[in-house]
Structure 1
Amino acid sequence: MTGSAAERQAAGTPLLEVLDVRKSYGDRLVLDDVSLSVQPHDVICLIGSSGSGKSTLLRCLDLLEEIDDGVIRLDGREISDPLVDQREVRGRIGMVFQAYNLFPHLSVLDNCTLAPRRVHGLSRPEAEERARDLLATFGLVDHVDKHPDRLSGGQQQRVALVRALCTRPDLLLLDEITAALDPELVGEVLTIVRDLAERGTTMILATHEMSFAREVATSVCFLSEGRILEQGPPAEIFSEPREERTRQFLRRVLPPSG
């Protein structure tokens, strides 16, 4: 595909295309012909029971797992080819995990500047200026010299978000980022994600926070047994789901109405 990224997006080319992706671990089929299209500024929420394939899908998109079949395209270019430069692709995709995955031997500032320097070639002063600006935005400016074990879980998760954003990714993947947090810390992390959505950040997030998904998502995908069983606007999925499996899941996770 020719033309700049801006030209392709103006022509309606999705930022991300997932076509008939399959992934197995041994005899266990984890992703079963998954297809998904993501436009710039979309916020796609993946919902479903544990084991439905949400995390595996995100890991495949970030090339942490090799797919068995299908195609993944980023900005019109196939990235699922085993010969693709994975480092270059990951330079355009940021991922935040539920377990933070910060480097324990590095300070907050060094955690956030490592990828911009090593992958994007920024000088240390440039990378540090970018990181400090983001850390200040997220209320972490007083913690730049601390190591992760000196931070609360909520602070560590905010640092993980800043680290992903320091590369200025085209796409941000969030994998159950509140799952490991104490309940009182969930809100502060979701506030940051909400702000990112309002700024137009393109995101795909796996979440168990249904009210949050209803509020921020442009589209909700319900996964069951490795398939996207149903996809649509939040109002449609949460109020008038078509599939009985979706209705069963939502009855379990949503508070009773009335």
Structure 2
Amino acid sequence: MSTTDGAATAGAVDAADGGPVLRMEAVRKTYGRGRSVVLRDVDLAVAPHSVTVLIGASGSGKSTLLRCANLLEEIDDGAIFLDGEEITDPRVDADAVRRRIGVVFQAYNLFPHMSVLDNVTLAPRRVHGVPRAEAEERAGALLARLGLDGRAGEYPDRLSGGQQQRVAIARALAGRPRLLLLDEITAALDPELVGEVLTVVRDLKEEGMTMVIATHEMGFAREVADQVCFLEGGVVLERGAPERVFGAPEHARTRQFLQRITEAGRL
């Protein structure tokens, strides 16, 4: 793996209480008969209560990295750790691991035949064994906090895209995850709805939620990230604090990517 700021990142993680929440070591992932390499020896450490933002062009490996972190994709080599436990050990219960990780994708993936309240309480009741009354009380508090008070009885098709994405975030938070993974959560939204979803993520950062976010919203990435990782061809080419990666990138390919983003008016 290539990196230009590994020492600084390692220092930040070592200083965190309890070590990294998520750690990837030399993770490799291939697809297809030709075994196309999608992730190449990726190392990553995410400190508690921090936000790591993944940037890079489409196809650079950001989404695959998140899917591997949640064990939705099986890695070909390397290891992934959650709170120091190797979750890629084949003896580990993958479902138990996923109960500790919340995931929000760009497609809301809400159940259309279920109300907002039922969408949010389904996993706590069925997966975590939370009593219905407690699950509904927790869901009501989450919905109110995310600006969805009064929407519990609605069905997804009666909500705007921004509201549906906020329901998806509430659903991910309902299980009280140790780690939250967000994959291009504004990509399917109309521009005027992007802001309301990003505001929710800002609030989660302020509350200390540990997050890994893949996004094309560079201004937002610069604002919320503690660590920025630029991926190219499945490799983390550059990583560091947002002010350095965005303000003084050291790798030529990072500079080229950010230049294109700037010219497109997205930075």
User: Residue 19 in 1 paired to residue 33 in 2?
Assistant: no
Look up the match of 1:242. Answer: 250
Look up the match of 2:260. Answer: 252
Q: Deviations over 1:8-31 (max 9, x none)?
A: 997642111100000010221100
Q: Deviations over 1:211-245 (max 9, x none)?
A: 10111100000000000000000000001101000
TM-score by length of 2: 0.91
Give aligned pairs, total: 249
From 90, 99, 102, the equivalent of 1:91 is 99
Distance 1:236 1:38 in 2: 18
Instruction: Say if 1:30 and 1:53, in contact at 8 Å, map to a contact too.
Output: yes
Look up the match of 1:150. Answer: 158
Distance 1:236 1:222 in 2: 12
Look up the match of 1:54. Answer: 62
Give, in angstroms, the shift of residue 84 of structure 1: 1.5
Query: Structure 1: which amino acid aligns with 2:207?
Result: R
Instruction: Say if 2:16 and 2:48, in contact at 8 Å, map to a contact too.
Output: no
Look up the match of 2:142. Answer: 134
Q: Deviations over 1:140-181 (max 9, x none)?
A: 121111111111100000000000001110100000000000
Look up the match of 2:51. Answer: 43
Distance 1:230 1:56 in 2: 18
Give 1:1-258 correspondences, 5 Å limit. 12-26=18-32, 27-255=35-263
Distance 2:153 2:59 in 1: 38
Q: Deviations over 1:73-105 (max 9, x none)?
A: 000101012331111111110000000111111
Distance 2:46 2:101 in 1: 13
TM-score by length of 1: 0.94
Distance 1:235 1:254 in 2: 15
The runs of 5 or more residues in structure 2 that have no matched partner are 1-13
Query: Structure 2: which amino acid aligns with 1:94?
Result: G
Distance 2:148 2:79 in 1: 39
Give the 3-state SS of the residue equivalent to 2:220 in structure 1: helix
Distance 2:94 2:120 in 1: 20
Percent of counterpart pairs with the same letter?
Answer: 67
Give the 3-state SS of the residue equivalent to 1:142 in structure 2: coil
Give, in angstroms, the shift of residue 254 of structure 1: 2.0
The runs of 5 or more residues in structure 1 that have no matched partner are 1-7
Give, in angstroms, the shift of residue 119 of structure 1: 1.6
